[in-house]
Amino acid sequence: MIRRNLKVVLLCLLCTGVQADQSTWSSQRDLFTVSYVSELMPLQINKLHTWILHIEDAQGNPVVAALLEVSGGMPAHDHGLPTYPRITAELGDGDYRLDGIRFHMSGAWEITINIAADGKTDSVVVLVNL
C-alpha cells in the first residue's frame, strides 16, 4: 500500500508538470544505469530531501532487489556529504527511495552509488552541480 502511494506521488509530480532534472548515468563497467527524480526541483542547498532512484540493467530491464549504498562529497573541497543518506524503501519496477540527502554548499558534487544485484556489483557516480 505504501509503495503504491509513493508511486502515485511520484507520478503526480511528473504529470503535474514539475520539471524533473532526470539524467541517466552508466555504471563504471556498464552493468547498470541509474536515473533519479528529486523531491526538490530545482535542487537547492541546505534542505534535507528525498530522491527516487531508478536502476536498470544493460538491457534496459528494471533491477529489483538490489542492495544500494550511497555516499558522496565535493572533490574540490575534500569533504563528504553532511548527512548519511540511505535507501529506505524499494518501490518496485527498479525504483528505490533515497532519504536523507542534503547539499550544504554550491558547486560540483559527486554522488556515488554502489549497486549489488543478481550477483553482480558495480558503481555509478552521479554528478550534481549546484
Partner 1 sequence: MKRFSIAFLFAGLMALAWYNWPASPRPWTEADIEVLKSLSIESLEPLPADPTNAVADDPRAAEFGHALFFDPRLSSNGGISCSTCHQPLRNFTDGLPKGQAIGTSKRNTPSIVGTAYSPWLYWDGRRDSQWSQALSPLEDVNEHATNRQQVLDVISSDPMYAGMYSELFGELPDMTNVVAVNIAFANIGKAFAAYERLLQPGPAAFDEYVAALLEDDVDRQAELFSDDELVGLQLFIGKANCTQCHNGPLFTNNEFHNTGVITAAGELPDKGRAVGVREVAANEFNCAGSYSDAASRSCPELEFARTGPELVAAFRTPSLRNLENTAPYMHKGQLPTLFATLQHYNEAPLAIIGHNEAKPLKLRDSDLRQLEAFLLTLSSPLAIDEKWLRAPPSD
Chain positions contacting partner 1, by CB under 8 A:
45-46, 48, 77-86, 99-100, 102, 104-107
Supply the minimum distance, in Å, between the C-beta of residue 15 and partner 1: 27
For the bound state, the minimum distance from the C-beta of residue 88 to partner 1, rounded and expressed in Å, comes to 9
Tell me whether residue 81 or residue 128 sits nearer to partner 1 (CB atom): 81
Residues 61 and 13: their CA atoms lie apart, in Å, by 23
Nearest Cα neighbor of 55 from 40, 42, 70 is: 70
Q: How far is the CB of 65 from partner 1 (least distance, A)?
A: 23
Nearer to partner 1 (CB atom), residue 3 or residue 86: 86
* Cβ pair 22, 35 in contact under 8 A: yes
Closer Cβ to partner 1, 4 or 79, answer by number: 79
Q: Minimum distance from CB of 105 to partner 1 (Å)?
A: 5
Single-letter amino acid, residue 37: V
Q: How many CB atoms lie within 10 A of CB 100?
A: 16
User: Which residue number, 6 or 105, has a Cβ lying nearer to partner 1?
Assistant: 105
First-to-final CA distance of the chain = 35
**Backbone torsions φ then ψ of 43, nearest 5 degrees:** -60, 145
